Amino acid sequence: MSSLPRRIIKETQRLMQEPVPGINAIPDENNARYFHVIVTGPNDSPFEGGVFKLELFLPEDYPMSAPKVRFITKIYHPNIDRLGRICLDVLKDKWSPALQIRTILLSIQALLSAPNPDDPLANDVAELWKVNEAEAIRNAREWTQKYAVED
Amino acid sequence: MEQFEQLLTCCVCLDRYRIPKLLPCQHSFCMEPCMEGLVDYVRRQVKCPECRAEHRIPYNGVQAFPTNVTLQRFLELHIEITGELPDPTSGQIMERCGVCSEKAYLSHCAHCEKKICEDCKSAHMDILRREITRFNSQIRRSLHRLQDSLAIIEKNTMSLQTNAISVTEEIDEIYHRITKAIKDRSDQLKGEIDRYLAVELRNLTTLKENLDLEITNIGSNCDIVDKYMNETVEWDDCELMDTKEIFLKTVEFLRHFEYENNDYSRRVRFLVSIDPNQLVMNLATFGDLNIAPHSTPGGSVSSSHLAPPSGLQPGLMRSKSDHRLATQFRQQEERGGYNDEPVLGGRKFGERPQRSATNSDRYGESSRYGRSDYDYENDYENEPTSGRTGKSSRFRSRFVRSHQNDDSDTEQQQQQRQQELKERKDRVLDSEDVSRGQLSGIIRLSDCSRVVQRLADIGKEKKSDKKSDAASAAQAAVQAAIQTQKAAMQRQQQKSQQPAAAVDEDELARQKRKSAASSGAATSAATSEAGQDQRPNSERVATLKGPRGGEDSDGSGSNQASSPVRTATAATRAESKPPVSAQVAAVKKTQRSGSSDSSASTESSASSGAAATAAAAAAASAAPSSSSQQKAPSTARHSSARDSVATTAVPEKKPFVSRFLPQHSTPATANGTADKKKAESSSSSEEETSSESESESEPETKPKASATSSSNSASKSTPSSASSSTTAATGSSTSGSSYRDRLEARRASRDDSALAAASRSTYATPSSSGYGSGSSSTARTRTVPAPHHAGESEDRYGSSSGTGSSYTSRFLNKSKSSAIVTQPSLSTPTASFDEDANGTGDDSDSRYGTGRSRYLAMKERRTRLARSRSSHQFGNEDDDLDEPVSPTTVSPSAYLASRYSGYGSSDLSRSRSSHALKSRDNSPITDRSAGSSRAGALGSSSTDNKDGEALSSWARYLKNKYGNKSSKDTPSSSAGSARDSHATSSTAASSSHAHGIGSSGSGRSTASEVSRRLSLGLPLRQANELASSDDDGSKNGLGSPTSPTVAAAVAAAGITGVAGTIPKQVYLRKRQQLFQLGGRGSEPGSFTWPRGLAVGPDNSIVVADSSNHRVQVFDSNGIFVKEFGEYGNGEGEFDCLAGVAVNRIGQYIIADRYNHRIQVLDPQGRFLRAFGSQGTADGKFNYPWGVTTDALGFIYVCDKENHRVQVFQSDGSFVGKFGSCGRGEGQLEHPHYIAVSNTNRVIVSDSNNHRIQIFDVNGKVLSTVGGEGSDDGQFKFPRGVAVDDQGYIFVADSGNNRIQIFNPDGSFLKTFGSWGSGDSEFKGLEGVAIMSNGNILVCDRENHRVQVF
């Protein structure tokens, strides 16, 4: 295994030194490319008060390819499926090497604030979100309470 | 400021921009690796990471995008403002790493000589560190050799002094005696004269008085008569008558009186019984100093302890002999060439190696040396052709040592270097201010400024928290410490040099004094010493004239010498490390302290005379003195001196010593050290020698003379004195007649040897050349018996017969070694051999299979001993007659003949290892003690080997089988004699001999074995049991060779006996595990995937601990004894070794599986040799697995992936192969293990064919056992096989996890074991082995253990 690129080191340092509010990313002890991420649900969103665990992995050719991010905590969101996979353009075709871990995580936080049912991953959720947004949001709140709030 | 920095940061790599390239969208990114990574090569587009704009890539790639100059300026500005260090990689271009081929910023790696990336480099540095650590531990382990040598040197110094003192005392004593004798005599004579004078005087006085009286009387008478005898006075007739009577008487008296003049005029003469001139001459030469060239005494100075045992030396360099040979060779080829390369290739420590450009520049610029460029150009031309420059400096540095011997070279280099120093301050090759080991050229690390710096840095780092001056103090402290160390070292050096020098001068003075009185040796010593002293001067002159001059002389000197000397020199070189260039020392010294100048010069002369010293050693007392001159190098010198007179004598005795001397010694050299090409060189040397030492003109004595002359040359005597004053001749001259005796004896012995089917040439050959250095020792040893003989022409040990007690006794004392050898050799020649063997036992096997030079070198001592003994026996043939007759002695011819023609098969002769063959040359010489001397030469092991080879152990086999049944005795022995077409005498002799076994109890006497087997004379092998060849050869035995007594004795002593008694029932009872060894782990006594198993000759258990890459040895009770080997592909390193075997002399033969080679290690686990590499050709392997060896020493290897078995001689030369991939008869598929029975049946586990195939030695299938299945007698992937000495076959049925035992005929006997990890359960069987007591060893691989049943 080749050593860690400087960019990853720098990013990690910066994440530790200047953490983004509401976002906490800690590299794994054994694998510096693997991060344990905690994102708090944004205010004024159905996910408010929730603490969502994610995992983030920087592939070998990072930053030329996007990091792999997945929700570990269950979440009720039209763009996030049951397995926690995230439908987010910057994680896919819109990835740019100029983006960073922090920007990606900010994007994810933003995605929580602004679900996009038109580009769904979890179709049933998206359907409900489109048909009955209130109920969907209620569901999201329930899930958040159920899975993402630690007592 | 932060924003500013951010602007200068590439958003892709988050680093400072490196060559920012501007995209059309006005965003900038580093060219590498960022921009490169952005490229979409398929669409030839680059997508801006910032704005996602897509741009076509210019034709020339991303580097064609314009560089953002503004940004670059900003970068520069930023650097200026902040003063931060520029990125070390800035300005560099990424390249593919030479190792991992990743793109990265590369730097040069000194380890692999490639440009590689940081990661790989650090990995390489780690490797280097590890290697250094390993070497360090190795060095630590072997450092004691140097210390041992040091101790020996000290001892030698002591003994040298004692020796010198005692000799001086002797000389004084003799002097006093002689003077006293003269004084007494002259006093006596004077006394007599006085007495005589007194008596005569008294007589004369009396006479005179009487005469006076007469005259007075007569005168008065006359007066009275004149006056009164006339008319006037009245005299009566009576008175007149009386007067007349008186007068008549007076007349008569006067008439008759005659003074006996003669009586008193005779003279006293001082008559000298011997011609005074003669006497003076005799007195003037009343003693000679003669230094025995090597450890044996001669003349009045013995140097027997001067020479440290060669066995001590070679360990360190053991594996290098080949290189050394090559070095020698090369040195010769390039003699005069530029061949002076210091340890680091002339670099300063830590300096980057120079590229060849500088080199060529340097050599090209030969006009600098103030001479025509012709020579140098040539020299330099020569180098590439000899493949040096091409190979790399690393390789060259190996040859450093040899060059340093050439002092003129060094001298010249010094000059050159100084010039260079002036011309180019920055030249890397300048001499650093370091202390260099005189022998090895190893510099002291702590002297290197870089090291100092590093250490200082460390100190700094440690104290970086503290104030800076603290840090500097630390540095100072470190430096001070180093300085102190240095100083200490320096002092030590000086100390060692100054007294040495003093001693030297003392010695010199003494030499001179002696040389006044004595001619011959002393003179030569003085001369050579003088020569030595002169050398530096003349060298300097030569150097001044032109560097070439010194070199030339050097060249010519070595030219003369080196061709014959090569081997021996190589051997010598092996031990003598190159003295560090005197120049370095000198420079250093002057720099350090002016006072040490003298010592420096001493040193330079000394080191320049490094080999000259050795030469001087040959030339007598000069040697010890000068060798004691330098403390450190003296070991080397000692050894070299000892190794061969001639070796060093010639190359260093330059023409200016004397034309005559080198000439004289050259033949001796040729003689002493001639390489094994023998015949020519020996004959030529003989000729020369004989022409020189004319006195020994007898053709028969020629070989002897040649041998002698080596010592002759040492004492550098004129031809006439050659015969009279030296060694062999010396001995005889000291007591005139004995010389004759000896000659006759020798002749007689020669006749014997002729009888012994030893052709004369053989005899001559080994004595003069065959043994390289050994033969020089021959010369030496010859001297030993000679004086002996001389001193005690009748009584060997009788002390003071004719020649004066001092001599004889001295000889006896001084020649202790020889005397010791002699003594036993007389009473029990073979026993004395034993002693030899023991004394040098260590070497015996290592010598066995290594490079030639080492072989020779190591053999030296032994040969010497053997020789001395044998020659002694020559000398005392008569005395020996009454001794018990040993068969080997009496009937060597029969013995040899039986060997050769008895079975006559080429097989046998082929089977003898080359060593054995070589040794055979020796044996005829010492006909009397053929067995023992051969053994002496060969070492115990080889004797044994040969016994096995030559005679096999059919007898033994028979005995094993029938030994217990006395009824069979006679048949077997009769069969033996029937088979033995030779000499009943030999049979008889041997039988009488063989009884030695019975009575000697130890019963392992090789000699007796030999004879016994000879008497039975049947070619069969025996198991390893004989490996320890004791040669006690007590000849007073009584039994019959095949008698039960003998069998019992052998059974008690040897292993076979036990094995021989194993009945089938024992095997049938096998089921229960006795004990087990190991367990998973890497500590001693544990295993990781053990595979091969073997039983050593001493019943040790040898386990190939495969994945720990080592061999472990346990005793027969499973107690861990030792381990050796580690991971790697170097010598003595293994990579997942598989099979292991132990031959009968205890050498380990190891299938180094992943290195595709076989390694042979000596019984101590030291590397002897390796052979094979990956491939399919003959002698190459593809994952060699099982390995075994037979009694003849052949090595059988299961070449697993080549599906064949290959057979090699014990020296690794390919003999044959059999098997190919397939299922047919004689074909093999993945043969794993192999065993050879003592009936020469080769048992191979044909693993993937699920069968055991049994071949004969030629590869013909004898039978096949088994087939796939789980029934009795069937196999699944059989692996380990073993066979006991009765032919029972043991198979590790790996797939069925059981051991199967088969009768010798291949029928099933017994099975046991099952899958599991409990006792008697197996998981993955590997090797099996059978111990001599019938215990079965099973390698239980997955359980990482060895079970014993």
The per-residue b/e assignment along A16-45, b for 16 or more CB within 10 angstroms, e otherwise, is eeeebebbbbebeeeeebebebbbbbbeeb
Per DSSP, B1077 falls in state E
pLDDT, average across residues B833-859: 40
Six-digit token string for B474: 């630390």
Q: Are B1284 and B1061 in contact (CB under 8 A)?
A: no
Interface of A with B in 42-61 (CB under 8 A): 61
In-domain check, residue A26:
yes
What lies within 8 Å, CB to CB, of B22 at 6+ separation is B28, B65, B66, B67, B68, B71
DSSP-based three-state secondary structure for B1214: strand
What's chain A's Rg over C-alpha atoms? 16
Six-digit token string for B375: 């020579």
Q: Are B659 and B327 in contact (CB under 8 A)?
A: no
CB proximity B40 to A under 8 Å: no
Closest-approach residue (CA) in chain B for A4: B119
Largest CA distance in chain B: 195
In-domain check, residue A50:
yes
The span from the CA of B510 to the CA of B164, in Å, is 10
Q: What is the pTM of this model?
A: 0.31
Closest-approach residue (CA) in chain B for A13: B14
The span from the CA of B618 to the CA of A47, in Å, is 101
The span from the CA of B727 to the CA of B745, in Å, is 17
Interface of B with A in 101-140 (CB under 8 A): 102, 119
A11 contacts B37? CB cut-off 8 A: no
Interface with B, mutate which of A3, A7, A60 (most B CBs under 10 A): A7
Residue B556 vs residues B335, B336, B617: alpha-carbon distances, Å? 9, 9, 21
Q: What are the two backbone dihedrals, phi and then psi, of residue B267, each rounded to the nearest 5 degrees? A: -105, 150
The span from the CA of B883 to the CA of B885, in Å, is 6
pLDDT, average across residues B170-178: 88
Chain A residues within 8 A of B48 when measuring between CB atoms: 96
Nearest residue to B1345 (alpha-carbon basis) of B1136, B1091, B1140: B1091
Distance from CA of B151 to the nearest CA of A (A): 52
Six-digit token string for B797: 């040990």
Number of Cβ atoms within 10 Å of the Cβ of B1002? 15
Residue B439 binned pLDDT confidence (cut-offs 50, 70, 90): low
Interface with A, mutate which of B14, B40, B62 (most A CBs under 10 A): B14
The alpha-helical segments, DSSP class H, found in B435-519 are 449-462, 468-517
Closest partner residue to A63 among B12, B52, B119, by Cβ?
Answer: B12
Q: Are B696 and B708 in contact (CB under 8 A)?
A: yes
Residue A34 vs residues B11, B374, B465, B1215: alpha-carbon distances, Å? 21, 69, 36, 60
Residue B986 vs residues B515, B603, B829, B983: alpha-carbon distances, Å? 55, 61, 18, 5
A98 contacts B13? CB cut-off 8 A: no
pLDDT, average across residues B807-821: 38
* pLDDT per position as a tens digit, B972-997: 333 333 333 343 333 333 333 333 33
Residue B187 binned pLDDT confidence (cut-offs 50, 70, 90): very high
Six-digit token string for B357: 């450009």
B11 contacts A98? CB cut-off 8 A: yes
DSSP string, B362-418: HHH-GGGGSS-HHHHHHHHHHHHHTTSTTT-HHHHHTTHHHHHT-HHHHHHHHHHHH
Q: Are B45 and B55 in contact (CB under 8 A)?
A: yes
Three-state SS string over B522-575 comes to HHHHHHHHHHHHHHHHHHHHHHHHCHHHHHHHHHHHHHHHHHHHHHHHHHHHHH
Largest CA distance in chain A: 51
Q: What are the two backbone dihedrals, phi and then psi, of residue B134, each rounded to the nearest 5 degrees? A: -65, -50
Residue B832 burial (10 A CB sphere; 0-12, 13-18, 19+): buried
Six-digit token string for B131: 């290697």
Judged by phi (left if over 0) then psi (alpha if -120 to 50, else beta), residue B620 lies in: left
Three-state SS string over B995-1036 comes to HHHHHHCCCCEHHHHHHHHHHHCCCCCCCHHHCCCECCCCCC
Chain B residues within 8 A of A7 when measuring between CB atoms: 12-15
Q: Could you give the angle at the alpha carbon of B376 between the alpha carbons of B375 and B378, nearest 5°?
A: 70
pLDDT, average across residues B823-849: 37
A2 contacts B100? CB cut-off 8 A: yes
Distance from CA of A98 to the nearest CA of B (A): 5
Q: Are B567 and B772 in contact (CB under 8 A)?
A: yes
Number of Cβ atoms within 10 Å of the Cβ of B971? 13
B1126-1127 and B1133-1134 as β-strands: parallel, antiparallel, unpaired? parallel
Please tell me the predicted confidence (pLDDT) of residue B11: 85
CB proximity A110 to B under 8 Å: no
In-domain check, residue A99:
yes
Q: What are the two backbone dihedrals, phi and then psi, of residue B1107, each rounded to the nearest 5 degrees? A: -85, -5
Which of these is catalytic: A69, A87, A104, A125? A87
B49 contacts A99? CB cut-off 8 A: yes
Complex confidence, ipTM: 0.82
A97 contacts B11? CB cut-off 8 A: yes
Lowest mean pLDDT among A114-128, B441-455, B955-969, B1122-1136: B955-969
Q: Are B990 and B1010 in contact (CB under 8 A)?
A: yes
Please tell me the predicted confidence (pLDDT) of residue B346: 52
B45-47 and B1195-1199 as β-strands: parallel, antiparallel, unpaired? unpaired
Q: Are B1131 and B1170 in contact (CB under 8 A)?
A: yes
Q: Please name the residue that has the structure tokens 């090559």.
A: B326
* pLDDT per position as a tens digit, B1203-1223: 999 999 888 888 888 888 888
Interface of A with B in 80-109 (CB under 8 A): 94, 96-100
DSSP-based three-state secondary structure for B1219: coil
pLDDT, average across residues B1263-1290: 88
Nearest residue to B1147 (alpha-carbon basis) of B1160, B1134, B1135: B1160
B14 contacts A6? CB cut-off 8 A: yes
In-domain check, residue A44:
yes
DSSP-based three-state secondary structure for B9: strand
The reply to whether A87 belongs to the active site is yes
Mean pLDDT of chain B: 60
Distance from CA of A146 to the nearest CA of B (A): 39
B38 contacts A7? CB cut-off 8 A: no
Closest-approach residue (CA) in chain A for B37: A64
CB proximity B100 to A under 8 Å: yes
Interface with B, mutate which of A64, A65, A90, A94 (most B CBs under 10 A): A64
DSSP-based three-state secondary structure for A34: strand
Closest partner residue to A7 among B13, B100, B102, by Cβ?
Answer: B13
pLDDT, average across residues B1099-1107: 88
The span from the CA of B580 to the CA of B586, in Å, is 10
Number of structural domains in chain A: 1
A6 contacts B11? CB cut-off 8 A: no
Closest partner residue to A64 among B14, B15, B37, by Cβ?
Answer: B37
A11 contacts B50? CB cut-off 8 A: no
Closest-approach residue (CA) in chain A for B14: A7
CATH of residue A69's domain is: 3.10.110.10
Count how many residues are written for chain B. 1349
A7 contacts B37? CB cut-off 8 A: no
The span from the first CA to the last CA of chain B, in angstroms, equals 82
Closest partner residue to B13 among A2, A6, A61, by Cβ?
Answer: A6
In-domain check, residue A115:
yes
Residue B57 binned pLDDT confidence (cut-offs 50, 70, 90): confident
Higher pLDDT, B1203 or B843: B1203
Please tell me the predicted confidence (pLDDT) of residue B388: 40
Closest-approach residue (CA) in chain B for A7: B13
Please tell me the predicted confidence (pLDDT) of residue B441: 67
Q: Domain containing A142: what range?
A: 4-146
What lies within 8 Å, CB to CB, of B52 at 6+ separation is A94, A96
In-domain check, residue A90:
yes
A99 contacts B52? CB cut-off 8 A: no
CB proximity A2 to B under 8 Å: yes
Packing angle between helix B622-629 and helix B610-619, nearest 10 degrees? 150
Please tell me the predicted confidence (pLDDT) of residue B92: 62
* pLDDT per position as a tens digit, B202-228: 988 998 898 899 888 888 888 888 887
A7 contacts B14? CB cut-off 8 A: yes
Chain A residues within 8 A of B100 when measuring between CB atoms: 2
Question: Which residue type, as a one-letter code, is found at position B510?
Answer: R
Six-digit token string for B124: 């390489």
Size of interface A-B (CB pairs under 8 A): 39
Count how many residues are written for chain A. 151
* pLDDT per position as a tens digit, B547-598: 443 333 343 333 343 333 343 333 334 333 344 333 433 334 334 433 333 3
Q: Does residue A55 have a pLDDT over 90? A: yes
Residue B1065 belongs to what H/E stretch? helix B1064-1069
Please tell me the predicted confidence (pLDDT) of residue B1051: 38
Distance from CA of B24 to the nearest CA of A (A): 17
Please tell me the predicted confidence (pLDDT) of residue B147: 86
The span from the CA of B892 to the CA of B829, in Å, is 14
Sign of CA dihedral B879, B884, B888, B893: positive
Higher pLDDT, B1085 or B421: B1085
Closest-approach residue (CA) in chain B for A93: B52
Residue B310 vs residues B355, B576, B616, B855: alpha-carbon distances, Å? 40, 11, 19, 11
In-domain check, residue A151:
no
Residue A43 vs residues A49, A50, A81, A125: alpha-carbon distances, Å? 8, 10, 22, 21
In-domain check, residue A88:
yes
CA B516 to chain CA mean position, Å = 38
B47 contacts A7? CB cut-off 8 A: no
